[in-house]
Amino acid sequence: MTDARLDDAEEAHLRRLTDAEADGDERAVEAALRPKRLDEVVGQARVRDQLGLVLEAARRRERAPDHVLLSGPPGLGKTTLAMIIAAEMSTPLRLTSGPAITHAGDLAAILSGLNDGDVLFVDEIHRMSRPAEEMLYMAMEDFRVDVIIGKGPGATAIPLEIPPFTLVGATTRAGLLPGPLRDRFGFTAHLEFYEPADLDLIVHRSAGLLGVELTPEGSAEIASRSRGTPRIANRLLRRVRDYAQVRAGGVVTLPVAQAALDMFEVDESGLDRLDRAVLDVLCRRFGGGPVGASTLAVAVGEERETVEEVAEPFLVRQGMLARTPRGRVATPAAWLHLGLSVPSAPAAGDSTLFDEA
Ligand SMILES: Nc1ncnc2c1ncn2[C@@H]1O[C@H](COP(=O)(O)OP(=O)(O)O)[C@@H](O)[C@H]1O
Ligand SMILES: [Mg+2]
């Protein structure tokens, strides 16, 4: 790697710029930017139509809508949609998360506090404990749970009626949900990464809310570096706004957006410093691979988890890196992205190089 090392705080800050997860401070900013109604939601046309229909039908029947599962990568709008479901049904949203429910009793307490028609949002629902999960199946289907009092042979089950409610579950890992839980959702919405045109609209909308003046080219530049993710688009917009205010008279034009994002080391394809370091090491030091994940992590000076969970998924999605049984491999797109020429014919016996594990 050729660039100078940055100190840790700066590094953490830069890393966060393209992290699709929100941290504590960011949640407050995000709340201001969240669409409040279904018709303010940009993109995800299919999900919006389907959900609109489910909610409209429920309103006409004057019943709580079916349980809804929202699945997809971080930052694409799951929490936003959960809040919109409650708003569209004019009911309160009760909010909890899988990791917060460690015992079935935690869930029983939440369920017994629900009112008729409430929307219960369980974020990261795949991280709920098994006993709580089993209690949830029953509650979803029969609006009833058995609360176990006492232990051992003397334990008794006390049935508890629950008013009809709508469960909205969100997960980044739908595959980890047990079948019986998945089957009890009447509607599953899978959120996809956004097209640049939709991200462009989101950047415009957020700029309006934040009072940032920007040109169409400036907005498009931010959108195209946002990894298909609204949360990242909003974050890049805030950094570009800082730059525009301090160094460029306030207006976000194309050159201002480019200069700001270059300064924060987010390149034209949305790769950040870590992503580029991974590609750089893979191509320049290891001739394009295959290289084992831990070797790669050591070579870029990062934890293996960080490389595997933060950098690789995006690089794989960009078609720049492949995970093979023998290790990580750079694709021709990776070489081209680094401005290097693609090495000619792979070594003999490497014809299975691009097979997925
Ligand atoms: N379809 C959308 N239109 C406009 N803004 C969106 C959309 N989806 C997400 N956002 C914005 O992105 C941010 C992250 O969305 P969030 O719902 O918290 O994502 P998730 O829960 O999937 O991680 C929010 O601040 C929200 O304003
Ligand atoms: Mg969320």
In a domain, 323, yes or no: yes
- The domain boundary, picked from 134, 165, 190, lies at 190
- Which of 227, 246, 264 represents a domain boundary (last residue)? 264
pLDDT of residue 306: 86
Give kind and range of the element (H or E) at residue 236. helix 230-247
Residue 99 clears pLDDT 70, i.e. is over it = yes
Ligand at minimal distance from the CA of 27 is 1
Q: Considering every ligand atom, which ligand is closest to the CA of 34?
A: 1
Whether residues 249 and 232 fall in one domain: yes
Instruction: Kindly state whether residues 82 and 49 are assigned to the same domain.
Output: yes
The answer on 184 and 45 residing in a single domain is: yes
pLDDT in tens, 159-180: 999 999 999 999 998 888 999 8
The two structure tokens encoding residue 266: 């987010």
Domain co-membership, 124 together with 222: no
Q: Residue 331 maps to which CATH number?
A: 1.10.10.10
Domain boundary among 190, 218, 247: 190
Question: Nearest-CA neighbor of 85 among 111, 61, 65?
Answer: 65
Say if CB 207 and CB 214 are below 8 A apart.
yes
> Does residue 168 form part of some domain?
yes
Q: Which of 21, 25, 34 to mutate to test the pocket of ligand 1 (most atoms within 8 A of CB)?
A: 34
Q: Are residues 136 and 50 in the same domain?
A: yes
Asked whether residue 302 carries a pLDDT value surpassing 60, the answer given is yes
CATH for 201: 1.10.8.60
Which CATH number does the domain housing residue 61 bear?
A: 3.40.50.300
Asked whether residue 184 is marked as a ligand-binding residue, the answer is yes
Residue closest by Cα to atom 7 of ligand 1: 77
If you average pLDDT over residues 37-44, what whole number do you get? 94
Q: Is residue 135 part of a domain?
A: yes
pLDDT of residue 353: 54
Q: Are residues 184 and 57 in the same domain?
A: yes
Same-domain status, 186 and 206: no
The pLDDT of 143-158, averaged and rounded, is: 86
pLDDT reading at 11 higher than 70 = no
Tell whether 73 and 215 lie within a shared domain. no
How confident is the model over 341-352, as pLDDT tens digits?
998 865 544 555
pLDDT at 7: 46
Kindly list the protein residues whose Cβ atom lies closer than 6 A to any atom of ligand 1. Answer: 30, 33-35, 41-44, 74-80, 202, 230-231, 234
3-state DSSP helix/strand/coil percent for the chain, to nearest 5? 50, 15, 35
90-110: average pLDDT: 93
Which residues have a catalytic role annotated?
78-79, 123, 172, 231
Do 83 and 34 contact (CB within 8 A), yes or no?
Answer: yes
Under the banding of pLDDT at 50, 70 and 90, the label for residue 153 is confident
Q: What's the pTM?
A: 0.86
Whether residues 232 and 92 share a domain: the answer is no
At residue 237, the pLDDT reads: 96
Q: Is the pLDDT reported for residue 107 higher than 70?
A: yes
Q: How far is CA 121 from CA 68, 77, 192, in A?
A: 10, 14, 20
Question: What is the C-alpha separation between 186 and 182, in angstroms, rounded?
Answer: 9
Q: How many structural domains does the chain have?
A: 3
Name the band, by pLDDT with cuts 50, 70 and 90, for residue 182: very high
Q: What does the pLDDT read at residue 191?
A: 94
Q: Residue 126 — pLDDT band, cuts 50, 70, 90?
A: very high
Same domain, 286 and 144: no
Query: Is residue 306 situated within a structural domain?
Result: yes
Q: Please tell me whether residues 148 and 200 are part of one structural domain.
A: no
CA distances from 236 to 21, 60, 71, 210, 285 (A): 14, 41, 24, 13, 31
In a domain, 24, yes or no: no
Query: How many angstroms separate the alpha carbon of residue 36 from the centre of ligand 2?
Result: 15
Give a yes or no: residue 15 inside a domain.
Answer: no
- C-alpha dihedral (250, 255, 261, 263), degrees to nearest 10: -90
Q: Percentage of the chain with pLDDT > 90? A: 71
Kindly report which listed range (16-20, 45-49, 216-220, 280-284) carries the lowest average pLDDT score: 16-20
What pLDDT was estimated at residue 155? 86
Residue 101 domain-assigned (yes or no): yes
CA 186/CA 180 separation, integer angstroms = 12
Structural domain range at position 43? 38-190
| pLDDT band (50, 70, 90) for residue 2 | very low
Q: Whose Cα sits closest to atom 16 in ligand 1?
A: 77
17 found inside a domain: no
**Whether residue 180 is found in the same domain as residue 44:** yes
